[in-house]
Chain A
Amino acid sequence: MIKALVSVYPDLASVIAMNYACRLSKMFAMEIQPIFVKEPEEGDKAPAVGWVRQTWENGLLDVEQEAMNKLIESERSVYVKLTSLQVIYGDRDEAILDNLLQGGYDLFVEGSISRFEKSVLLQRTCSRLYRKLPCSVMIARNLIDLNKILVIIGDAAPASTLLPALMKLFKGSNVRFDLLYSKIIDSGPLEPIYSEPEIFNEADEIFHGTGWKPEKKLALQGSPRDLATQIEEYSLVATSLPSEPERHNGLLELLSDTPSPILFCRQRIGML
């Protein structure tokens, strides 16, 4: 069974993340642990240590915890396998990272709403949490029924690590998927790449004997925006988390422009 940690907060992104995670749990066996990390606000200063501090922190948490519990209860009425909300006071990324490492989770889920002005994706992938993630991460951006996955492979997303992690997550789910090899250019028309990339052969070898087979293999060249428009019908885009995201990362720009939820696959690793 897949163990998933879902980050929640009293906002729309968390409603989407929670609901999306629960939808996924219908496709494959998944245990969902919601976690709410209350970050200290400016001016919050713990009055003491020990019991006094604990009481003070609990007081801060009460109001938002109630909102969180409502969110979880509304999902639990449909998806019964939800465990109780875990509440922590402290730095969000640190607390989540600690939990992911210590809890042996296979998947981390959080919500993120697309913005017109800027992409939060680059900022997020540069964060300490994402750089140290010990497992795959799902960024739920919209509530879309999971019909077909697009798996983007390439130099920055090697088939050898991406595909086994994907197969482990979706084991037994009969999910349909296409493979995309993309060459991202700054400008120019969207067009097919006619010579079949070597990475497709590598993927075939990995899938051999597993029962997994892409419905289509696509090789396209285009700008991030054109490619994003081309793939917007997919209900999930899976790829690898860039190890060193740069400010002008074509793949991240492409992913920023697509409305689909994103899955950055990573094989689970032990304690760092």
Chain B
Amino acid sequence: MKILAALDSSSQSTFVATEVARLAANTWADVTLLGIEPEAVNTDQRPFAKGDRKAEDHPLIKSLRENRNILQNYFGPDNSPYNHSVVTSELVEVENGFWEDLQVCRGSIKQLNTRLRTGNPAKAVLTEARNSQCDLIVLGNSISIFGGVLARSVKKILLEADTSVLMVAESKNPRRIVACLDHDNISQPSLELINQMVTLYDADLEIVGLTTQDTLANNVDSKMGEIIKYYAANKIKALVRFVEENRLATFAAQAAQDNLVAIWMGKKSLLSRIFHPRSVEKLLSGTESSLLILR
């Protein structure tokens, strides 16, 4: 698994880094911490410039390095899959009958990259997500919500990323993971990601089937049957519920108050239509809970 964490210099980035560390501890994921410049909400906000490369006191660089330490420290000195400090001796044959005992500094078991992209934050995250071929983008909601309005960049990431996106909220652990489903094309990684969320937050799971006039779309019925049996076999309590298509936005906004709402948003999904940018904003306004877009 590859996780891309989008971090700015806000205090919430510390929380996002900790959440990524928890998730990485469960999945042993390759992690990229990507420093992005927040959207210009303050006029005195100093953008990162070439001259800052050596200046450790630039808030973004400072924050990025602190967050990398948080992630490494989460595992402790001996258990981190990201440590580079393991030095071993290896006997290497240089020529026939000629050997050298080399001290080798092995690479870490898993990769931890720390990168910085300047400019438009949404473009930066989407470009890095494509380049690193990550499975999950994690970002916090303080970079996304300013004065109760969802930032344009985060809406763009949520709606245009090719991969799953987790937007974490600092306020509280969700009581339940509410996963909305309207099509039968569900990827195994997205099911496993749900498993991770259930484990991470020690939450129940509710699978929501989207109905039109009390009827589920073709094959969704049997897919939901497979999914609940899959989770039951994995000893995960998975509840099911039906919601009419025209009430989904209301339901999701209500559910998001205490729970983490997860939305399977495939290319052909009705949910892509229902959760157009204005609805995503509605979903997130008035809630401080996390949101997971599954792809």
How many A-B pairs with Cβ below 8 Å?
57
Q: Which of B222, B232, B240, B244 is the one whose CB lies under 8 Å from A117? A: B244
Which B residues are in CB contact (< 8 Å) with A16? 225, 228, 240
Q: A143 touches which one: B238, B244, B251 (CB < 8 A)?
A: B238
- Chain A contacts for B225, CB-based, 8 A: 12, 15-16
**Within 8 Å of chain A (Cβ to Cβ): is B216?**
yes
Minimum distance in angstroms from A230 CB to a CB of chain B: 13
Task: Digitize B273-293: 1 where CB-to-A-CB distance is under 8 Å, 0 elsewhere.
Answer: 000000000000000000000
CB within 8 A of A113: which of B222, B229, B237, B240? B240
B243 lies within 8 A of chain A by Cβ = yes
Which of A115, A144, A145, A259 lies in contact with B242, CB distance below 8 A? Answer: A115
Binary per-residue interface labels of chain A (110-121) against chain B in the complex, 1 for a CB within 8 Å, 0 otherwise: 000111110000
Assess whether B209 is interfacial by the CB under 8 Å rule: yes
Q: Specify the main secondary structure of chain A where it touches its partner.
A: loop
Q: Does B172 contact A (CB under 8 A)?
A: no
How many Å from the CB of B163 to the closest CB on chain A?
A: 29
- B239 interface residue per 8 A CB criterion: yes
A260 closest partner in B (C-beta):
B239
Q: Is the CB of A116 within 8 A of B251?
A: yes
Does any Cβ of A come within 8 Å of B39's Cβ?
A: no
B62 at the interface (CB under 8 A from A): no
* Contact present for A143 and B247 (CB under 8 Å): no
CB B274 to nearest CB in A, in angstroms, measures: 14
Known contacts A19-B229, A141-B240, A259-B241; can you find 18 more A-B pairs with CB under 8 A? A11-B216, A12-B209, A12-B222, A12-B225, A15-B225, A15-B229, A16-B225, A113-B209, A114-B241, A115-B241, A115-B243, A116-B241, A116-B242, A142-B240, A143-B229, A143-B238, A144-B239, A259-B239
**What 4 A-B pairs are tightest by C-beta distance, nearest first?**
A15-B225, A116-B243, A259-B239, A114-B241
Question: What is B's interface to A at a CB cutoff of 8 Å?
Answer: 206, 208-209, 216, 221-222, 224-225, 228-229, 232, 237-244, 247, 251
